[in-house]
Amino acid sequence: MNGLLKLATFFVLMSFFVSSVADDTELYDNLHACAVQPQEKYRFIFIVDNSGSMSSWEFTQSRETVNKTITEVLSSDFDDLQVAVVQYGTNHYSQEHKYNVTVPFTSDISVATNWNRHYGPGSSNYYDLQDHQPASLARMRNDGVYDAGGLLDVSDATNVQFVFFTDALRDYYYGCCSSLVSTGSPYHNLGDTLPGFGEYDALKNGSVLPNGLRAQFTILHVPPGGSWYEPASEAAAAIASPGGSYTGDVEWNADDPEGPGTKPRRYVQGTFGVDDASKIVELIQQVLIEVQDTTYTNVAPAVSVNSFNELQHRDELYFSVFQPSILPRWSGNIKKFRINGDGVLLDALDNPAIDPDTGSIAETARSFWSSSVDGPVVEKGGYRGQLTGSRTVFTDAEATGAEEPGIVKLSADSEVTFELMGLAEKNDEDLCVRTADKETGFSTVTDVGTTVESGLSVDGSNIRLSFTSTEQVSSSIRLYRNGETSPSANVCENTYAGDGTLHSCEVSLDNDIESMDVYFIATDDTTTVEYTIEYNIPDGSSETSCQSVADERETLLTWLLGEDVYNMDEDDSTTDAHQFAADPLHSRPYVVTYSGTSETDAVEVLYFTDNLGMLHAVDPADNKGTTLWSYLPSEHLDNIKRYANNEAGLPKIYGLDGSMSVIQRKSSDSERNKLALREVTLLVGERRGGRNYYSIDVSDGTEANKGPSINWKINGGDDAQFSDLGQTWSDLLPRKIAINCSDTGVGCTEIEVLVFSGGYDPAYDESGYLPEEALGNAVYIVDLETGGEKFFWSAGNNQDPRDTDKHALDLGLDHAVVATPTTLDTDGDGAIDILYALDISGGVWRVDFDSTKSTRDASFATGGKIADLSDRTQLRRFYNSLDVSRSRPQSGRDVYYLVTGSGYRAHPNEIATNPDRLYMVKDPYTSTRQLTRDEEQHRYHYVKNERSIKPEDLHEYDSEDASFEFGFWKTLTGTGEKILQSATTFNHTVMVSSFIPAENGAETCEIGAGRAYFLQLDNFNSVFDNEFVALTQEGLPPEATILQLPEIAICVGTACVTMATEPESDDDDDEKDPCDSDNFNSVAYGSDMAAAAAAMACGLEKGRAYRTDWIEN
């Protein structure tokens, strides 16, 4: 090409932008593998509470769960891993609390799992147990349990994992239970703890211990019930916490950014059973992942359009960043930087924002909106650093049972229906575990009942009553449902001697539980007993919650509105603000300028979506970053609970993870130097989050208390018209359709429409074949105003096996069209004339529209398959849009160049047998008329002809000869290299990024990186001396972004190239005309305004480059 390309500094933003379920989040599976792939030596120490407060059942569950976890860990991919089992609290009344190394370090599963409860010397009697005493690392070292020379020598370990099983009773409430069961034994008060112990000074957590050893702690808390529930929970949360009242040497790192007095980094409360071992392993893996603390990004940055000079961009860039996790909840942020005229990213202090050696945000960078250096850390700075504890969140009015449509502002006591919150069905929940207060007999119904959660279905032995009695119990103990006079079941049928013996019995309720039942224990006997009611649901899997459904709803809404009820910041407060933000995995932010006379007084709002399912409106001013309001559709209210619980073993959570288009309309008094918008509409999809589209009016988006209004929703599968609609991956393209025009093109009726593809079906996640009945095999056009009620047109397959939609145009389309279609306006009248679509199997489809016809006319649209890029013998998948450019090769006749690439986005790490390719297909039919016989190709005779270009008609790229009649393909040379983003063509240059998975990524703890190609359109020769530019950025590189600043900058993520607008010249040649056909001979369709500006500057009459939005007066 003849325009100058100046190679600027290539830098990379190491921030994860991903998705999950067999999606591009598979990239981060390598990180999970790293979590169980040590560099040197890992040592796991399982510490089991062996004190008197741990019942026989609790201890048995702990032992069995520890053994199952040990088996899982030792069966995994650790190179050098050993485990040990330690019991703390020598539970004999004559002994002080000490640590007992029950199983020394071993890698033998049979040895590691062969252990039992440790009792005091000369006794195996459970009733000689002491009370619970807190534990500490200092005491472990004093007892010679670990450290150099200890029984468990960890001096040469690179990472030690302490995994704690406890009920945490004694840590807080020393009067909870009899101190020593044997007669005459004194109580131990908190002040009487042994040397090295102190209130709340159980285990001292820190990422680095004083001896340089890196250690992490996972506290698995089995909470008691009754009045001790909350105190014990607080104590358990402090077990791994530095600080407290202890004044001796504590083991925390002075450089730890969490500081002293914080909650542990890994604290999980629940009823952990034998079946939960795999979840515990995942929790431990997550701890190791968090040590890496790497940030990622995989979508292009948001670019500010200069509304006061529509041929130029602003210098502001907004990056979506996220932190992947092995748990369902991923966190994210939006960070703002700016780009200078040389294509260099700068931070708020005008310092380079990118570390050129690593390609990551520099550790010293301070993004805009941040009060201090936030560097690459997702949790720091950005918009989330401005989040408060009182946020404005709207949802659909129907969610609260309102009959009238609209939106409502949420509060903690909003009566959102339980079903939408995911609270009505409790079949996967455990019953509450509560401990009743000691009563004198049971003849009076106890004050402490147990509320059974709504909708719970149970089976098996569900109720266990454990008690001791000092007098004989001579009557059966029965279980009553509140308000009933006859028992629901007899819990204990027999009589029991009053000898202080522990008794235990069970009863099954046999699915007799109804919504919100409250049960009480009663008997006719007046014997004084101490009892504990335990609800054991063998198939339960989630953490225990003793809240009613209404209380749980209030807690969840309180958290959503910003209050840190779950103490996520680990600062001992549950009433301050949390600053958690969900991941904007595939969400590209968008800035709307509402009014102003210049950049300095512009009133703007930044919009983006996240995977909790929320749309956010943020003030993007340099000193702001504050959230104005958020909107959570009713379809995603159940994500609140999923994010709050963050339950191990469940898949990644998705919400509004799709693309966003924006429509802006100027008000009548808007002038060139005085902008005023009268209407702004956001068009939002869900991608992996679902099958819906949303049209959201944000004309009043600058007003925090007013929020948005919902124009309409498209519900895939629910609406008969959209039964073929799959997951909504496609953009909603705002376009116009012209109908009923005269032959001369006048008298037309124009309809504002949205164009989009049928989307994705997760059935394509299965490798090795293409499903035959998958969703998504359609293309849709609907009116903008109503989403299809006034105007609806579609093309698809009227003979597909589902026998669902009847499309206006039957294309015989067998496979999903995942990517956004490409539309062309060939005559410059503003209406689309040609539509291109690419299905996932490589079928290239073209539809031509006849503006002289009515939509009811069968000839209004004519279409068919014009090319096949793949076949069954060489399976390749296509997730990207076609990049379409019109150019005039040496033959002298304009053709359309269709560029795309193959790559399995659902499995980016896959190394396919058939290497992926970059394709270019030529379409000579640049108008909707048929060519003469002399002009026709021998294979492809316009869309009405059934013959199409076959894979064998395309030839492999040859740098010496690219004059192929139908097009060519270029094999990607990297191992496993794939094209996972759409190409962008500008000024006769094709810009496209690729991804190459890491070799042996699980062993190297890498996720792979990308390449950037800059190729000449007509022959695919590289613009530069090298074939490609290797990107240092880890993860999926996004598509190219074109900026005009006023010089043109082309960015792939944060790797940028500046492109001079003046033609290249030298001393020997006269200056060349940049608009000469030899210099500027292509127009890109579907690209941004920079291409449009260049086209207009060169006076090109045919072709139009659409902006992503349109503004009309």
Domain locations in the chain as residue ranges: 41-292, 439-535, 590-1097
* pLDDT over 90, % of the chain: 30
At 177, the pLDDT band (50, 70, 90 cuts) reads very low
Q: Phi and psi of 262, rounded to 5°?
A: -100, 165
pLDDT at 1106 over 60: no
Three-state secondary structure readout of 1036-1078: CCCCEEEEECCCEEEEECCEEEEEEEEECCCCCCCCCCCCCCC
Cα–Cα dist 1090/1107, whole Å: 9
Q: Which two tokens stand for residue 610?
A: 């996240």
Indicate if the pLDDT at residue 1041 is higher than 60.
yes
Please name the residue that has the structure tokens 């000079």: 309
**For the ranges 304-308, 514-518, 850-854, 962-966, the one whose mean pLDDT is highest:** 850-854
Average pLDDT of the residues in 590-602? 88
Which of the two residues, 686 and 1026, has the higher pLDDT score?
686
Judged against a pLDDT cut of 50, whether residue 138 lies above it is answered with: no
Q: What is the pLDDT of residue 448?
A: 33
Structural contact between residues 822 and 1083, judged by C-beta atoms closer than 8 angstroms: no
Q: Find which of 283-287, 790-794, 1041-1045, 1058-1062 is predicted with most confidence, using mean pLDDT.
A: 790-794
b/e for 487-508, b at 16 or more Cβ within 10 A?
Answer: bbbebbeeebeeeeeebebebe
CA distance 186 to 162: 32
- Round to whole Å and give the CA distance between 526 and 579: 53
d(CA 729, CA 758): 8
- What is the structure's pLDDT at 1084? 44
Q: Average the pLDDT over each of 171-185, 233-247, 1034-1048 and give the range with the smallest value.
A: 171-185
Place of tokens 């991941």: 583
pLDDT higher at 826 or 1101: 826
Count of CB atoms situated within 10 Å of the CB of 1046: 13
Cα 245 to its chain centre, rounded Å, is: 39
β-sheet with 528-535: strand ranges across: 439-440, 528-535, 463-469, 502-507
Residues 811 and 799: their CA atoms lie apart, in Å, by: 10
CB 253 within 8 A of CB 265: no
User: What is the reported pLDDT for 181?
Assistant: 26
Q: In the CATH hierarchy, which fold is given to the domain comprising 590-1097?
A: Methanol Dehydrogenase; Chain A (2.140.10)
**pLDDT for res 873:** 76
Among 92-96, 145-149, 350-354, 573-577, the least confident range: 92-96
**Which of 17-21, 445-449, 645-649 has maximum average pLDDT?**
645-649
Percent of the chain predicted with pLDDT > 70: 57
Write the pLDDT tens digit of every residue in 743-774. Answer: 888 899 999 999 999 999 999 998 777 888 89
More confident residue, 233 or 802: 802
Structure confidence by residue, pLDDT tens digits, 815-837? 999 999 999 998 888 899 999 99
| Tens digit of each residue's pLDDT (9 = 90 or more) over 531-556 | 444 443 333 323 334 456 788 899 99
* SS3 call for 28: helix
pLDDT in tens, 898-933: 999 999 999 998 888 889 999 999 888 887 655 454
Structure-block tokens of residue 334: 């939006």
Per-residue model confidence (pLDDT) at position 1031: 82
How confident is the prediction for the chain on average, in pLDDT? 70
Query: Tokens at residue 550, please?
Result: 């209404």
Chain position carrying tokens 């001369």:
744
What's the whole-number mean pLDDT along residues 201-214? 33
pTM: 0.72
756 φ/ψ angles, rounded to the nearest 5 degrees: -155, 160
Structure confidence at residue 341 as a pLDDT band (50, 70, 90) = confident
Going by C-alpha positions, the residue among 8, 598, 543, 590 that lies closest to residue 283 is 543
Give the pLDDT confidence score for residue 109 in this predicted structure.
94
pLDDT at 684: 98
Distance (Å, whole) CA 110 – CA 70: 10
Q: Which of 904, 731, 887 is nearest to 822 (CA)?
A: 731
CATH number of 41-292: 3.40.50.410
Highest mean pLDDT among 179-193, 482-496, 504-518: 482-496
User: How far apart, in whole angstroms, are the C-alpha atoms of residue 1069 and residue 1079?
Assistant: 15
Determine contact, residues 752/736, Cβ cutoff 8 Å.
Answer: yes
Separation CA 749–CA 747 (nearest Å):
7
The answer to which of 61-65, 179-183, 454-458, 462-466 has the lowest mean pLDDT is 179-183
Residue 307 scores a pLDDT above 90: no
Nearest to 907 by CA among 16, 225, 26, 149: 26
Residues 884, 885, 891: CA angle, nearest 5 degrees: 130
Check whether 493 has a pLDDT greater than 70. no
Give the span between the Cα atoms of 658 and 731, in whole angstroms: 8
Strands annotated E in 716-852: 733-739, 749-757, 779-783, 792-796, 809-810, 822-824, 834-838, 843-849
Phi, psi of 865 (to 5 degrees): -85, 125
Given this model, what pLDDT does residue 90 score?
Answer: 53
Q: What is the largest CA-CA distance in the chain?
A: 115
Q: Which residue has the higher pLDDT, 1084 or 847?
A: 847
pLDDT at 468: 55
pLDDT of residue 308: 45
Contact call for residues 620 and 348 (beta carbons, < 8 A) = no
Kindly state the average pLDDT of the residues 29-39: 52
d(CA 168, CA 53): 9
d(CA 937, CA 113): 74
Phi, psi angle pair for 1012, to nearest 5°:
-120, 125
Is 50 exceeded by the pLDDT of residue 725? Answer: yes
